[in-house]
Amino acid sequence: MLHTLSVKQMSEKLHAGEISSVELTQHYLDRISQFDPELNAYVTVTPELALEMAREADERLKNGSAGVLTGIPVAHKDIFCTDGVKTSCSSKMLDNFIAPYDAHVVALLKKAGMPILGKTNMDEFAMGSSSESSYYGPTKNPWDLNAVPGGSSGGAAAVIAANLAPMATGTDTGGSIRQPASFCGITGIKPTYGTVSRFGIIAYASSFDQAGPMTRSAEESAWMLNAMSAFDQRDSTCLEMERPDFAANLGDSLQGLKVGVPAEYFGDGLDPEVEKVVKDAIAEIEKLGATTVPVSLPNKDLAVPSYYVLAPAEASSNLSRYDGVRFGYRCENPADLQDLYKRSRAEGFGAEVKRRIMVGAYALSAGYYDAYYLKAQRLRRMVRDDFTNAFEQCDVIMGPVAPTPAFNIGEKTDDPTSMYLADLYTIPVNLGGFPGMSVPAGFANGRPVGLHIVGPYFSEAKLLNIGHQFQQVTDWHKQTPAQYQ
Amino acid sequence: MSWEVVIGLEIHAQLTTKSKIFSGASIAYGAAPNSQACAVDLGMPGMLPVVNHAVIDKGIALGLALNAELGKKQVFDRKNYFYPDLPKGYQTTQMDYPIVGKGYLDIEVDGETKRVGVTRAHLEEDAGKSNHGIVPGMTGIDLNRAGTPLLEIVSEPDLSSAQEAVAYARKMHELVTFLGICDGNMQEGSFRVDSNVSVRRPGEPLGTRAELKNINSFRFIEKAIEFEIERQIDLIESGGKVVQETRLYDSETNTTRSMRTKEEANDYRYFPCPDLLPVRITDEDIDAVRATMPELPDAKRARYVADLGLSEYDAGVLTSSRAMAEYFEALLEHTGGKDAKVCANWITSDLAGALNKAGLDIADSPISEQMLAGMINRIQDDTISGKIAKQVFDAMWKGEGSADEIIEAKGLKQITDTGAIEAMVDEVLANNPSQVEAYKGGQEKMMGYFVGQVMKASGGQANPGQVNKLLKEKLNS
């Protein structure tokens, strides 16, 4: 059963010639045909592209130009522009959009030799915490088909959890890698803002969006981050600096590690079972030699309100280009220009996207700009400063990723505010641009729960090391829902 | 009762970069529709802007030339609105932190110098163009212009007549072309002037203004403003009210008419572009630009008058464009710099006249500085006379070769052989006894007649100095 192998084992077998990439890729394509109709985790499957790339990978494996990920299939979130492949952002607006270029991340992973299995489902334009706002319908959580996989990278998390791809890309604007990783029992890391190029990633909120890997283990995430992070002059917010080898520290001992535990992250609203899982996980980390210190993030409650002003403000502007004029959806028989704009946008966007466009436009409007946008920017700095202060006392901060395990499909769709609160622990990290990771730490009510590890800028290698050490003494990341084993 | 006129100008100068302000696409004029718009310019999903640093340097140059404060920290903002030729649904511009802050420009009107305040100049991207009528019943969108870098230069409302407004616009035009940051082509829209015009009674607060947009010649700007001043005064004096609006000038009827009213102001929802980090410029950046800046027209003019002894008029013509000044300075260099006045004359009269007639710019002159210098050198070494030089000039203009080649081919070398000239002098005097009589009787002006006759006899090639000398010797002997 090829899908039960770790990526490391796959890589070894590919390099030893025991299996071919075509064989491995076909195996995943078969599993997708078998299981995806029920999960709805893929928006587009690209078997021909995948097999062609697999053949090229096999050539490289033979001629000695292969790297560690050559031949390992990958699934891309449908927010990454992929040359010649439909890139819809799970929106009716872009249902007919075939990108004529590759996102930088896609190009880098192509260069690494990773065959593309297809594009994964997501919340429309990455707006959501459950992957229910997709134009193509909700993705289901492989652990419980009644539950959501989280969002917005819910499709990516589900394909990893159900072994419909060994590796996947995600993006995290307010928690969209970490929260679905937690809900689906996989490993995901959002690197420091500016580490991974945003070129070719369909923008939701530019100052928050950041891509990262979604895999089963921290070690695999480290390899994938190595492949997808490089300076890109086409993104002016992409940091021009040497990237470290993110896998170099995986073997480091956690002896002496100082873990900050913020009281504010264990207060009201946290599901007691989730709390227990997270505390047990921290205790496990202590057994590996770490010590805990209490830290304070006093402005935690300002993060969600600040985010829900700033992110929609940026989104309202970023999504203006979808006007029915040049590409994407256009309404039938527009009466005039205004009608073309209004109906194309009214018919092309889903409810959550429209809600955020309206909120964002309002926050930026004359007379409200100071009261909302500027004030939210100030809150953003206060939240960031909380972390900076905390990191003077500790190496990393640990806590829950989300207040609950995966909720049920439909449970929060009528109550946007309760949906927004699903991200209350992850959003502050995006406000500050810090790296954050979720690693599987146990189960609550039979649904997976992740441990949230947040570090200072450029501490990805350390976070991955902690995740990897944790995964040396636990096997939560090796658990697979029975039907996908 | 008297009226005061208040005018402020907004000038859009298109910057002479090779590529767009936020993408690598070309900005060359006149290409087939949409052949110069890349994915970034089209606002395609996932595309991101990256600042072309050449625009920053050009902005710094203008700021230095206007003695302005320079924005050490610049922020690009988004101005959000929907328009079919605005691909991203917003225009990227500079709102609170422009590249050029407060500065000034000195203009001259009727011999008086006036200092006009410049409020600011900011960088922004141009939008595309809507083409109506190419496809019947449809509008075509050409995004070649989208993303073209512009500097919007905003003046204080310091101008108080159409003449001042035009003097300011011309001066700014001269400055940006001299700096080489804008080609100044008004026909192609590289230099666009919007005029805000209002009138008021002395001492009263500012009146309601009307905006005159995109008029593509200085003459029409003057006429449009003049008409607009009259219109507003007439309107108010007859009991009406000026409304804030954009008006178009019709050069056929020499009137302005309403294009759109600004009663309902758009809410542009400006905010800092999150895709672009603030741009910081350092003193080193500024010094580097300063080092590459040319001598500016005002300084050049003063130097031409003081050091080269040229007239104000000649100095003005020679600094009317950077290309003109460069031509003059090159000519001066190639002729050894001995006689600036001669060089100036050839440029301001013969060359400027010929270029004007042919509708050519000095940069496209068929006679290069080297060629003209070659000719002037032959005048100065007495190979040809100034008169013959006109013939040589015409031949050079027609592309018949260098001055030396033409003189050789046409046998235009000045006759300096005294014997030959003496023979011609003798002949002229012999053939005109009555004129000789008259001269000897005291009519010295006859000398001009004799010189003319000898020159004619020599086919213009006799050395006029020698002719004069010999005539005097013979007549006075």
**Cβ of B88 and A321 within 8 Å?**
yes
Q: What is the pLDDT of residue B414?
A: 74
Interchain contact B358–A (C-beta under 8 A): no
Q: Is the pLDDT of residue B66 over 90?
A: yes
pLDDT top residue among A435 and B452: A435
Compute CA distances B193 → A66, B190, B216, whole Å: 60, 10, 8
Q: Quote the minimal CA–CA distance from A284 to chain B in Å.
A: 40
CA A315 to chain centre: 18
- Position B427 confidence tier, pLDDT thresholds 50, 70, 90: confident
Residue A21: which H helix or E strand, with range? Answer: helix A21-39
Name the domain count of chain A: 1
Domain locations in chain B? 4-267, 294-410, 418-476
Q: What is the pLDDT of residue B264?
A: 56
Residue pLDDT, tens place only, A306-353: 999 999 999 999 999 999 999 999 999 999 999 999 999 999 999 999
Overall average pLDDT of the A370-395 stretch: 98
**Is residue B445 packed enough to be buried (19+ CB in 10 Å), middle (13-18) or exposed (0-12)?**
exposed
Q: Is the pLDDT of residue A410 over 90?
A: yes
pLDDT top residue among A295 and B410: A295
- Considering chain A, what percentage of its residues have pLDDT values greater than 90? 97
Q: What is the pLDDT of residue B385?
A: 80
Q: Which tokens go with A10?
A: 């796959």
Interchain contact B49–A (C-beta under 8 A): yes
Residue pLDDT, tens place only, A251-310: 999 999 999 999 999 988 899 999 999 999 999 999 999 999 999 999 999 999 999 999
Strands (E) across A205-345 are located at 211-215, 258-262, 291-295
Label the pairing between strands A258-262 and A396-400: parallel
Overall average pLDDT of the B35-55 stretch: 96
Q: Supply φ then ψ for residue B161, to 5 degrees.
A: -160, 165
Q: What is the pLDDT of residue B261?
A: 66
Residues 6+ apart with CB under 8 A from A78: A43, A44, A87, A88, A89, A90, A119, A120, A121, A122, A155
- Position B407 confidence tier, pLDDT thresholds 50, 70, 90: confident
Q: What is the pLDDT of residue A106?
A: 98
Q: Which residues of A belong to the active site?
A: 77, 152, 176
Assess contact for A402 and A183: CB atoms under 8 A: yes
Assess contact for B89 and A364: CB atoms under 8 A: no
Q: Supply φ then ψ for residue A444, to 5 degrees.
A: -130, 125
Helix, strand, or coil here: B208?
A: coil
Nearest to A435 by CA among A190, A224, A213: A190
Label the pairing between strands B77-80 and B73-74: unpaired
Overall average pLDDT of the A3-7 stretch: 97
Q: What is the pLDDT of residue A292?
A: 98
Q: What is the pLDDT of residue A402?
A: 97
- Give dist(CA A278, CA A275) in Å, integer: 5
Q: Is the pLDDT of residue B195 over 60?
A: yes
Residues of B within 8 A of A323 (CB-CB) are: 82, 84, 89
pLDDT top residue among A268 and B35: B35
Which residues pair with residue A17 across a beta bridge? none
Residue of B271, B276, B280 best to disrupt the A interface, most CBs of A under 10 A: B271
- Position B1 confidence tier, pLDDT thresholds 50, 70, 90: low
CATH code for the domain of A55: 3.90.1300.10
Residues of A within 8 A of B47 (CB-CB) are: 199-200
- Give dist(CA B70, CA B73) in Å, integer: 9
Residues of A within 8 A of B276 (CB-CB) are: 236-237
**Cβ of B48 and A89 within 8 Å?**
no
- Give dist(CA A349, CA B251) in Å, integer: 47
Residue of A169, A307, A316, A325 best to disrupt the B interface, most CBs of B under 10 A: A325
**Cβ of A325 and B78 within 8 Å?**
no
Nearest to A425 by CA among A252, A243, A269: A269
Q: Is the pLDDT of residue B159 over 80?
A: yes
Residue pLDDT, tens place only, B216-226: 899 999 999 99
- Give me chain B's average pLDDT, please: 91
- Position B150 confidence tier, pLDDT thresholds 50, 70, 90: very high
Q: Is the pLDDT of residue A120 over 70?
A: yes
**Which of the residue ranges A70-84, B324-338, B463-477 has the most confident prediction, judged by mean pLDDT?**
A70-84
Compute CA distances A30 → A46, A117, B83, whole Å: 12, 11, 47
The residues on A that touch B, with CB distances below 8 Å, are 80-81, 87, 89, 94, 97, 99-101, 103, 198-203, 205-207, 233-237, 313-314, 316-317, 319-321, 323, 325-327, 337, 341, 361, 364-366, 369, 373
3.40.50.300, 2.60.15.10, 1.10.10.60, 1.10.10.410: which CATH number matches B418-476? 1.10.10.410
Residues 6+ apart with CB under 8 A from B369: B327, B330, B331, B334
- Position B462 confidence tier, pLDDT thresholds 50, 70, 90: confident
Q: What is the pLDDT of residue B232?
A: 96
**Closest CA in chain B for residue A105:** B46
- Give me chain A's average pLDDT, please: 97
Angle at B173 between CA B168 and CA B176, to 5 degrees: 120
Q: What is the pLDDT of residue A370?
A: 95
User: Which amino acid, A419?
Assistant: M
Residues of A within 8 A of B42 (CB-CB) are: 326-327
ipTM for this prediction: 0.96
How many inter-chain contacts (A to B, CB under 8 Å) are there? 98
| Burial annotation B71-103 (CB, 10 A radius, 16+ → b, else e) | beebbbbbbbebbbbbbbbbbbbbbebbbbbeb
Q: Which of A336-340, A408-412, B430-434 has the lowest mean pLDDT?
A: B430-434
Q: Supply φ then ψ for residue A378, to 5 degrees.
A: -65, -40
Overall average pLDDT of the B264-270 stretch: 82
**Cβ of B89 and A87 within 8 Å?**
no
Of the CA atoms within 13 Å of residue B268, those in its CB half-sphere come to: 13
Q: Which tokens go with B264?
A: 């309902």
Q: What is the pLDDT of residue A55?
A: 98
- Position A466 confidence tier, pLDDT thresholds 50, 70, 90: very high
Residues of B within 8 A of A313 (CB-CB) are: 271
- Give dist(CA A476, CA A186) in Å, integer: 9
Q: Quote the minimal CA–CA distance from A373 to chain B in Å.
A: 9
- Position B265 confidence tier, pLDDT thresholds 50, 70, 90: low
Owning domain of residue A274: 1-484
Q: Is the pLDDT of residue B207 over 70?
A: yes
- Give dist(CA B207, CA B212) in Å, integer: 16
Q: Is the pLDDT of residue B409 over 90?
A: no
**Cβ of A206 and B275 within 8 Å?**
yes
Which of B89, B271, B275 is closest, CB to CB, to A321?
B89
| DSSP letters for B141-204 | EE-SSTT-EEEEEEE-S-B-SHHHHHHHHHHHHHHHHHHTS----TTTTSEEEEEEEEEE-TTS
Q: Is the pLDDT of residue B476 over 90?
A: no
Q: Which tokens go with A112?
A: 């690494």
Q: What is the pLDDT of residue B473?
A: 84
**Cβ of B270 and A313 within 8 Å?**
no
Give yes or no for a cis peptide into A176 (omega within 30° of 0).
no
- Position B148 confidence tier, pLDDT thresholds 50, 70, 90: very high
Assess contact for A399 and A261: CB atoms under 8 A: yes
Assess contact for B367 and B395: CB atoms under 8 A: no
Interchain contact B223–A (C-beta under 8 A): no
Q: What is the pLDDT of residue B271?
A: 97
- Position B458 confidence tier, pLDDT thresholds 50, 70, 90: confident
- Chain A contacts in chain B segment 256-315 (CB below 8 A): 267, 269-271, 274-277
Assess contact for B120 and B100: CB atoms under 8 A: yes
Residue A460: which H helix or E strand, with range? Answer: helix A460-473
Q: Which tokens go with A161?
A: 């959890």
Overall average pLDDT of the B257-269 stretch: 76
